[in-house]
């Protein structure tokens, strides 16, 4: 019974501290998400620091770049199949808008007060343009041709995308290192060697968080309660701020971007 209770406590602690550090590759999926507001609220939660804002903008940039490359390859394939010029022109116009948006995201300053708003608006624009391009393709090709086209494009991996991915990974590790140091400060732990092992890639983020859980688990009940309370309070504040920002944008009729 005591062993089960210890496991439950560890699970509760892992859930509680998860918001302090983001998982590698979070937010990089270029595919469409379900609940956009919920997803965006979660993403902007780390944008209260320039490094967190930089990570989210880089992830958005990478996702859009992947879709630009896919769109460009698709158009080239359709040209080879001698598709109607009018349909190709419509696709090229969407692609040009995607490229223009990429440059806007690329020049967004993560330290700017408007970086969160720029991220939310440009993410919405990127999703809309990607959907518009996919819908246009579906009108031109049958299911069998679509599957063949996707497989052909999937095999082509851009070096630029790989480089951005590697850089994002390094920035995420730096962000997580900062968050783990905050947790170590909160619990009063002075041995930071485990954090440096994470930064060097010797241990995973999961193992680093589990190490913190073990340290907390060895504390007195009152001390554990105090730490949980501080973490919970910060998590609630972060969630409220994110929700308030989204609501404010809706109320002001935002989300249409620079060309809306």
User: Over the stretch 64-118, which tens digit does the pLDDT of each residue have?
Assistant: 999 999 899 888 888 887 777 888 899 999 999 999 999 999 999 999 989 999 9
Q: What is the pLDDT of residue 27?
A: 46
Give yes or no for residue 228 having a pLDDT over 60: yes
**Cα separation, 212 vs 208, whole angstroms:** 7
Task: Please say whether the beta carbons of 126 and 67 come within 8 A.
Answer: yes
Mean pLDDT of 214-237: 74
Per domain, the residue ranges of the chain are 36-156
Q: Which residue has the higher pLDDT, 32 or 111?
A: 111
Instruction: For residue 240, give the DSSP letter.
Output: H
Question: With the C-alpha atoms ordered 146, 152, 155, 156, is the resulting torsion angle positive or negative?
Answer: negative
Mean pLDDT of 224-248: 68
**Cα separation, 199 vs 211, whole angstroms:** 15
pLDDT digits (tens, 9 = 90+) for 166-196: 899 899 988 888 888 888 887 787 788 888 8
pTM assigned to the model: 0.76
């Amino acid at each position: 019974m005591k062993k089960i209770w210890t496991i439950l406590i560890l699970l509760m602690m892992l859930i509680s501290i998860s918001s302090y550090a983001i998982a590698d590759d979070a937010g990089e999926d270029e595919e469409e998400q379900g609940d956009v507001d919920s997803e965006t609220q979660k993403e902007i939660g780390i944008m209260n620091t320039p490094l967190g804002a930089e990570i989210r903008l880089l992830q958005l940039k990478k996702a859009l770049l992947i879709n630009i490359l896919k769109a460009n390859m698709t158009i080239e394939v359709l040209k080879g199949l001698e598709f109607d010029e009018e349909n190709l022109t419509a696709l090229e116009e969407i692609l040009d808008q995607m490229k223009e948006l990429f440059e806007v995201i690329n020049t967004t300053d993560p330290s700017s007060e408007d970086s969160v708003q720029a991220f939310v608006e440009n993410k919405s624009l990127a999703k809309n343009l990607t959907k518009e391009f996919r819908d246009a393709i579906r009108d031109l090709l049958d299911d069998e041709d679509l599957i063949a086209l996707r497989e052909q494009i999937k095999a082509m991996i851009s070096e630029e995308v790989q480089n951005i991915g590697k850089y994002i990974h390094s920035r995420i590790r730096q962000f997580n290192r900062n968050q783990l140091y905050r947790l170590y400060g909160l619990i009063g732990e002075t041995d930071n060697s485990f954090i440096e092992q994470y930064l060097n890639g010797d241990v995973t983020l999961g193992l680093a968080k589990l190490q913190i859980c073990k340290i907390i688990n060895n504390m007195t009940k009152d001390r554990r309660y105090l730490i949980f309370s501080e973490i919970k309070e910060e998590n609630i504040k972060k969630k409220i701020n994110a929700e308030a920002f989204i609501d404010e944008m809706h109320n002001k009729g935002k989300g249409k971007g620079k060309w809306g």
